[in-house]
Structure 1
Amino acid sequence: MTDYDVLRVFCGPNGGYGNELGVVREGSVLPERADRQELARKLGFSETVFVDDPERGVIDIYTPTLRLPFAGYPCVGAAWLLDVPELVTPAGIVGARQDGEFSWIEARAEWAPPRVLRQYATAAEVEALDVPGPGEWIYAWAWEDEAAGRVRARAFPGRDDGIEEDEATGAAALLLTHRLGRALNIIQGRGSQLLTAPQPHGWIEVGGRVRLER
């Protein structure tokens, strides 16, 4: 089996929760897309990152079933692991910075895959939702405290690859921030935390805590 690291991205304040991310630091060992896709399928993470140039921050991102030009939590995790000022993805150049316990990326909403952003009246309604079957990729959310920008969210990929709920989803947070036009403090899934902040000229920052699992 190819060597890889496991990170936990968008952890809660106590270091728990977050979404597991596989990172193959030596992407050159699997240069072919088909081989990368097969490894991503075997590992079974929501996303797996292959690092093609650690100094320049060139990365390649896969779900268990497809290659992605951009994804939020893989970029936050890779930025933390590589400690570089930017990442090079097929979608474009992703800015990166470290700020205390948080790792941040700067990206554009149009890079994110389509998501259905479905608002509910209360956080309790979001927490009570059953996992839907395969279909649309749904980001269910509600205000916990609108004045403070606090959001409760859950993500349902609607895929048939065994991932019924995504614990922490940077791309969806990017889209929600773009729609609302304001900074957000999102608690997603069981307790993951994502922070966002609109920037000039259509850029949006997404940040969170990252831990090395193994």
Structure 2
Amino acid sequence: MTDHEVLRVFCGPGGEYGNELGVVRDGAAVPGRAERQALARELGFSETVFVDDPVRGEIDIYTPTLRLPFAGHPCVGAGWLLGVDRLVTPAGVVGVRREGGLTLIEARAGWAPPRTLRQYGAAAEVDALEVPPPGEWIYAWAWQDEAAGTVRARAFPGRDDGIDEDEATGAAALLLTARLGRALTVTQGRGSRILTGPRPGGLIEVGGRVVREAAQGVGDVGSA
């Protein structure tokens, strides 16, 4: 049995909602890529993180079907859980800071996986969208208040792995921030909250609230 923790990342202001993240603190217990991929598929979260060095912040990220060099909500969650000021990912070193109950990371837009950013004319149009068939990874968004930088978004991974919609996606919000070149407050999914903003040196900051949901073994996955 492989122990793992469950976090909710990018929670709303009261700790509600957020995207679930599986974290295997003892990455050495699952050493091979094939074994990690199989466990990520078994756990069924949009992403699962394996911690290879908790002091250096070295992590490895998997969806149920593939390994990712970088992803937003796993880095925010792992940064919160490990209490480090940086994470080491295959894409590069991710800065981590904390402020006012939030955990924020700094990363480059070029590290994010490709996403189709699809703008709609109103938040109500985004709310009314049905899940599209598998295909491209779509980040549907609309301004709630352009002057204030508030955005309504939903994320459709387009994968045939049982995850039709992601509750909160840091990498997609990072890409949108890079495109618009301004700070954003994104409400995604049922009510998750993502805060972003450009930083010096071409970096983008992405962050939010993290809540610990559970610690369990693989045999207890259904109780998450």
Q: Same fold (TM over 0.5)?
A: yes
The alpha-carbon deviation at position 198 of structure 1 amounts to 0.2
Q: What amino acid does structure 2 have at the position aligned with 1:44? A: G
The alpha-carbon deviation at position 101 of structure 1 amounts to 1.0
1:4-19 maps to which residues of 2 (within 5 A)? 4-19=4-19
Report what 1:138 is aligned to.
Answer: 138
The alpha-carbon deviation at position 92 of structure 1 amounts to 0.1
In 1, the alpha carbon distance for the partners of 2:137 and 2:85 equals 31
1:45-101 C-alpha deviation (Å, 9 max, x unpaired)? 000000000000000000000000000000000000001010000000000011121
Question: 1:103 aligns to what SS in structure 2?
Answer: strand
1:48-59 maps to which residues of 2 (within 5 A)? 48-59=48-59
Question: 1:172 aligns to what SS in structure 2?
Answer: helix
In 1, the alpha carbon distance for the partners of 2:75 and 2:25 equals 14
TM value normalised by structure 2: 0.95
1:85-129 C-alpha deviation (Å, 9 max, x unpaired)? 100000000000111210000000000000000000000000000
Question: 2:162 aligns to what SS in structure 1?
Answer: coil
The alpha-carbon deviation at position 201 of structure 1 amounts to 1.6
Q: What amino acid does structure 2 have at the position aligned with 1:65? A: T
Is 1:198 equivalent to 2:198 in the alignment?
Answer: yes
In 2, the alpha carbon distance for the partners of 1:210 and 1:48 equals 15
Question: 1:173 aligns to what SS in structure 2?
Answer: helix
Q: What amino acid does structure 2 have at the position aligned with 1:169? A: T
The alpha-carbon deviation at position 14 of structure 1 amounts to 1.4
Question: 2:20 aligns to what SS in structure 1?
Answer: strand
In 1, the alpha carbon distance for the partners of 2:124 and 2:69 equals 34
Count of aligned pairs:
214
The alpha-carbon deviation at position 27 of structure 1 amounts to 0.2
Report what 1:173 is aligned to.
Answer: 173
**CA RMSD, Structure 1 to Structure 2 (Å):** 0.4
Question: 1:213 aligns to what SS in structure 2?
Answer: strand
The alpha-carbon deviation at position 9 of structure 1 amounts to 0.2
1:183-205 C-alpha deviation (Å, 9 max, x unpaired)? 00000000000000101121000
1:67-146 maps to which residues of 2 (within 5 A)? 67-146=67-146
1:140-165 C-alpha deviation (Å, 9 max, x unpaired)? 00000000000000000000000000
1:24-63 maps to which residues of 2 (within 5 A)? 24-63=24-63
Identity of paired residues, percent?
Answer: 77
In 2, the alpha carbon distance for the partners of 1:204 and 1:126 equals 24
TM value normalised by structure 1: 0.99
In 2, the alpha carbon distance for the partners of 1:26 and 1:130 equals 38
- Structure 1 moving runs of 4+ over 2 Å: none
Unaligned runs of 5+ in 1: none
Question: 1:161 aligns to what SS in structure 2?
Answer: coil
The alpha-carbon deviation at position 209 of structure 1 amounts to 0.2
In 2, the alpha carbon distance for the partners of 1:80 and 1:200 equals 23
Question: 1:190 aligns to what SS in structure 2?
Answer: coil
